Structure 1
Amino acid sequence: MTPPDRPITVVLVDDHPVVRGGLRALIESFGGFTVVGEAADGEQAVREVQLSRPDVVVMDVMMPHVDGVEATRRIVRACPATAVLVLSMAEEDDVVFGAMQAGARGYLLKGAAQEEIERALRAVVAGEAIFGPGIASRVLGVFGRDPAERADPFPGLTARERDVLELVAQGRRNAVIADALGMAPKTVANHLSSIFGKLQVTDRSAAIVRARDGGLGRGRPG
């Protein structure tokens, strides 16, 4: 809990400087908040949080190098006392639930009202979980599905993409995946590009982490 006699400290993470500037002005206008750092991508975010140890991080998802989901995972591991509030345009189920699995305490869509952002910031710092109306309805929708469907951590992937991701998560390289699935290496590379986009990751290592967190890659590599 933040002592009542000091402001809530915030780090802003977004790859657009104008967005960060607007958020800084907005958050500091609330009273009781101070922005202690900014970052333009996930890798910078992890470093900044480790340096400044803020109460809360306002995290974008779609960023270059290291995306917001992977950055959230690293921050929660390194600085568990810091809350992460995602503020993003992305509202796909796999992105939202990926952020939740990574340890985000809240998820708002960009365009949320000022009052909603302030309430969410205070809530996650207090240890609550909070979601914007559009996200909350998606969460409820997923938990209202058939259990077998609900257990699917990557609903946006095709069956073939899931096969590729399974083998990637096992540590297999593209040539081996191509042989195992009876496709050309270039086709494997095309599937991987699609998978990276759908999982909002930028490299193979981040995709492996997401896949293993979702239960893939438990078979033995060949």
Structure 2
Amino acid sequence: MTARIRILIVDDHAILREGVRALLQLHPDLEVCGEAADGKAALEEVERLDPDVVLMDIAMPGLGGIEASLELKKRGRRAKILILSQYEDREYVRRLLKAGVSGYVLKKSAGSELANAIRAVHRGGLVLDPEVARTAMEEGGPAAPGSGDPYEALTDREKQVLKLVAEGRSNKEVADVLGISVKTAMSHREHVMEKLGVHNRTELVRFAIKKGVIRVDE
């Protein structure tokens, strides 16, 4: 018998995790091996469980899907990342593909399509929801290298710090989430503000909202 595909579900809404788990249990070749409510917990569970596929939400408190995906890629984890999101935002799609995710499907189209998407990314394929693919190609597609987007000038760690600071986290909270010292967190924050050319938290939050790093509609 072929080994089942082991899946980690990452979403900050417990009811959605339960729904996805129930949906996937209908497929004998799929096994939900764990759950996590945010990006930080997801990193810990990936280390502990070594899943085949991580089913990742984007908009979560603390480390979101983009930031957690960047970290998993940096750590060289073998798990394939499949984004399950309600958003079809072009910026999100572009950043996540750049971060090395294997697929992007919309929550509203989840069903048998989700099981097929999991199988496809596990085999090494790239899966994009048709609506997401259309969105990604709008406005000339991804920004060209060297196009001057200050967000892209940030390191992966600085992108994580940007999201946390924009959410209102203190230097100590940033340090706790990322597992770094307060001094290092402060240094990253200074570098972020310097690279973005912002001078206070209000300007930083405005930039984060404009770039879709955080959302104000949740």
TM-score w.r.t. the length of structure 1 is 0.70
Q: Quick check: which has more Rg, 1 or 2?
A: 1
CA offset digits 1:6-37 (Å, max 9, x no partner): 11100000000000000000011122111011
The aligned counterpart of 1:200 is: 213
The aligned counterpart of 1:38 is: 35
Where 1:116 maps in the other structure, the secondary structure is helix
The aligned counterpart of 2:113 is: 116
The residue type paired with residue 3 of structure 2 is R
Displacement of 1:106: 0.1
Moved more, 102-111 or 77-86: 77-86
The residue type paired with residue 150 of structure 1 is A
| Distance (Å, rounded) in 1 between the aligned partners of 2:146 and 2:106 | 21
Displacement of 1:74: 1.6
| Distance (Å, rounded) in 2 between the aligned partners of 1:68 and 1:153 | 25
Count of aligned pairs = 181
Moved more, 60-69 or 77-86: 77-86
Where 1:150 maps in the other structure, the secondary structure is coil
Where 2:60 maps in the other structure, the secondary structure is coil
Task: Return closer, same or farther for 1:22/1:153 CA change in 2, 3 Å cut-off.
Answer: farther
The aligned counterpart of 2:143 is: 150
The reply on whether 1:130 has 2:127 as its aligned counterpart is: yes
The reply on whether 1:76 has 2:73 as its aligned counterpart is: yes
The residue type paired with residue 173 of structure 1 is E
- Root mean square deviation, CA, Å: 3.2
The aligned counterpart of 2:14 is: 17
TM-score w.r.t. the length of structure 2 is 0.72
Moved over 4 A (4+): 152-155, 168-172
**Contact 1:11-1:54 within 8 A present in 2 as well:** yes
The aligned counterpart of 1:27 is: 24
Runs of 5+ unmatched residues, structure 1: 203-222
The residue type paired with residue 190 of structure 1 is T
| Distance (Å, rounded) in 1 between the aligned partners of 2:69 and 2:29 | 24
Q: Please show how residues 57-72 of structure 1 align to structure 2 within 5 Å.
A: 57-72=54-69
Runs of 5+ unmatched residues, structure 2: 160-186
The share of aligned pairs that are identical, in percent, is 31
Where 2:25 maps in the other structure, the secondary structure is helix
